[in-house]
Structure 1
Amino acid sequence: MSFFFRAASRPARPSPQELVRSIKESLLALDTRTGAKALEDVEKNVSTLRQTLSGDGEVEPNQEQVLQIALEICKEDVLSLFVQNMPSLGWEGRKDLAHCWSILLRQKVDEAYCCVQYIENHFDLLDFLVVCYKNLEVALNCGNMLRECIKYPTLAKYILESSSFELFFQYVELSNFDIASDALNTFKDLLTKHEAAVSEFLCSHYEQFFELYTRLLTSTNYVTRRQSVKFLSEFLLEAPNAQIMKRYIVEVSYLNIMIGLLKDTSKNIRICAFHIFKVFVANPNKPRDIIQVLVDNHRELLKLLGNLPTSKGEDEQLEEERDLIIKEIEKLVHLSV
């Protein structure tokens, strides 16, 4: 009897249409009503949405209902209301909404992601999410939502090519460490998730991108310098970025930046800088001006490389590479005499 009593006492969930209508009405009411009641209604509806989309621990989500909710949310323009009203919600409401966002974006109809298609027709939502990094209260929630969007090539491509992308070069230097780190994670996803789109973007925006990136490498902020040189050392050495790397390592200005980073007080920065510097030196097709810089600065460079920090037994490959680069520089000096 107790089982039947519990089953009977469970309140019936609203239909997808009813739930979406209720969410929409409560979000719209935020513009016309003030006070805790309006916000409470929204957060209650968003909590119900989260339980419906992901289950409540006792009842698993009904996938047919989940898909229907996604379709209704797009049809009723509720996805736009989610983004626009994110700053108005409390901590729990924002958390629930970001969780729902990731589930909604994954819903497919005939091999098409319906919510992704909606965002493709409302790209301004992506710009809004990027700008939200300036809002301390919602930055991390919006960062999570952006990274969900970046999983889809069309959305990532838009952000890369939009004017909003340049804001990330500011965000990674924000004084709030958590937000700056989150922005860097989003920045990395933009540059690593979709090889073809990234390659196309960097080929057409090469000068502009690396001019901005150079500011990060020479930042007075230690964390910014360390994270940016580490990412660049990983990014340039990946096979899909070979053409970008070949272009980068023939420019004297970038070689000089790496030489400067080899002098940094941080062991980690010096090691990451070495992994980029070594490609300049090992390049079999070094331009004359690159060779000249290496020869003119060979004494200082040999000293810096000789003092490159390595831990005994920790990285034998690093020591081997360092020795090869030292020999190559000495060879260049010998040939120039």
Structure 2
Amino acid sequence: MSFSFFKPSRPKTPQEVSKAIHDSLTALDTQTVAEVKALEKALEEVEKNFGIMRCMLVGDAETEPNMEQVSQLVLEICKEDVLALLVHKLPILGWEARKDLVHCWSVLLKQKVEDTYCCEQYIEDHTELLDFLVVSYDNKEIALNCGAMLRDCIRFPILAKYILESASFVLFFKFVELPNFDVASDAFSTFKDLLTKHGMVVSEFLTAHYDEFFDLYEKLLTSPNYVTRRQSLKLLTDFLLEPPNSHIMKRYILEVRFLKVMMMLLKDSSKNIQIAAFHIFKVFVANPNKPREVKVILAKNHAKLTELLQNLSAGKGDEDDQFEEEKELIIKEIELVTQQPNLGY
């Protein structure tokens, strides 16, 4: 007696997997909300195909991925525009399918085929996908999925550069203050990656867009939201103190309005914010080439500043000792500024 009908079906080739994903995602176009059953069936097909793709890319409990097949799948997915479909159909998909998609997206972007990151190249040629992912922070259903996918893209300098210089970048200043805490936190993680992952790219961007960027950034530093103020101040320290941004820092500490922001933050009700503000404020004061306007502000406020600084303590052992030394030097420097003639304040 033959039991051949119990044999498992032949595993799909990378070409077949790519085509199946393409066709099942494209089929979603023909569904309407009125055809609930048809839509459910189409979504089930997508979910099944994503499962097959995930297994081919990362293996399963029993088998390791075949790297030749992985490379072929990456090529097919780019060739057949499946990457674009993955992004554009994301809002329609169910929770499980989105989870698989985000995992596969990360693996796909990391794959090199003959020394080329094919998916990175594809996205570079279809930058509208990056804009779509950024704008999707406004859709809380898929915001966290899109955030994870964006951060995978930001690993590549050329893609990070595109986002920084795109019209959609300014949306991050809104997204980091969205009322949904999880979405706002995720948006800030992406914002931070954009400003810290690639030093030279960020330096070029800040040089070209200095005024508009710091005008917007000042609003984050003075936000009524404690988390926004604290995170923004910490991030400012992170990217301003990067060696490629030394010229940006030198320009920043010449500006009275930014000195005033730091002085305001020194008075914040949060000790963490006060200490973080001090580490930028001290650069204004220690600058040997302080402009006259900065000297005037320091001299006018020297009594209040001295009192503020004397009451400020890091309270962390050895770190506190260093902090106290820096504080004393800054207080002395402010005192020296007040003694300078011809300030006319």
TM-score computed with the length of structure 1 as normaliser? 0.95
Q: Distance in 2 between matches of 1:92 and 1:320?
A: 55
Q: Helix, strand or coil for the counterpart of 1:280?
A: helix
CA RMSD of aligned residues (A): 1.5
2:333 aligns with 328
Q: Select the residue among 14, 23, 46 that pairs with 1:25.
A: 23
- Find the residue that maps to 1:108 and give its secondary structure: coil
Residue in structure 1 matched with residue 223 of structure 2 by the alignment = 219
Q: Tell me, what secondary structure is at the counterpart of 2:340?
A: helix
Name the structure 2 match of 1:168.
172
Give distance in 2, aligned partners of 1:10 and 1:292. 82
Q: Distance in 1 between matches of 2:238 and 2:20?
A: 48
Aligned-residue offset at 1:11: 4.6
Task: Name the counterpart of 1:137.
Answer: 141
Deviation at residue 315 of structure 1 after TM alignment: 2.4
Q: Does 1:210 align with 2:214?
A: yes
Gaps of 5+ in 1: none
Distance 1:286 1:137 in 2: 49
The within-5 A match list for 1:94-109 is 94-109=98-113
Pair 312,66 (structure 1): closer, same or farther in 2 beyond 3 Å: closer
Query: Quick one: distance in 1 between partners of 2:316 and 2:43?
Result: 59
Q: Following TM superposition, by how much is the alpha carbon of 1:103 offset from its aligned partner in structure 2, in angstroms?
A: 1.0
Structure 2 distance, partners of 1:322, 1:234, is 20
Partner of 1:304: 308
2: CA distance, partners of 1:57 / 1:12: 19
The one-letter amino acid of 1:263's match is: K
TM-fit CA distance, 1:10: 5.4
Partners of 2:27 and 2:102 lie apart in 1 by 21
Correspondence for 2:261: 257
2:125 to 110, 121, 127: 121
Which residue in 1 is equivalent to 2:74? 70
Aligned in 2, Cα 1:238/1:196: closer, same or farther, shift over 3 Å?
closer
- What is the Cα deviation at residue 264 of structure 1? 0.5
Deviation at 1:235, TM superposition (A): 1.9
Question: What's 2:281 paired with?
Answer: 277
Cα distance in 2 between the residues matched to 1:16 and 1:310: 58
For 2:14, the aligned partner's letter is: P
What's the counterpart of residue 49 of structure 1? 53
Q: Distance in 2 between matches of 1:166 and 1:227?
A: 17
1:284 maps to amino acid: P
- Give the superposition deviation at 1:196: 1.4
Report Cα offsets for 1:139-187 as digits up to 9, x if no partner: 1111010001001111111000000100100011011111111111111
Which deviates the most, 227-236 or 198-207? 227-236
Q: Deviations over 1:98-142 (max 9, x none)?
A: 111111112223322111111111100000000111111111111
* Aligned residues between the structures: 331
**Which whole-Å CA distance do the structure 2 matches of 1:10 and 1:132 have between them?**
41
Deviation (angstroms), 1:312 = 5.4
Which residue of the other structure, out of 268, 273, 284, is the alignment partner of 2:272? 268
SS of the aligned residue for 1:14 comes to coil
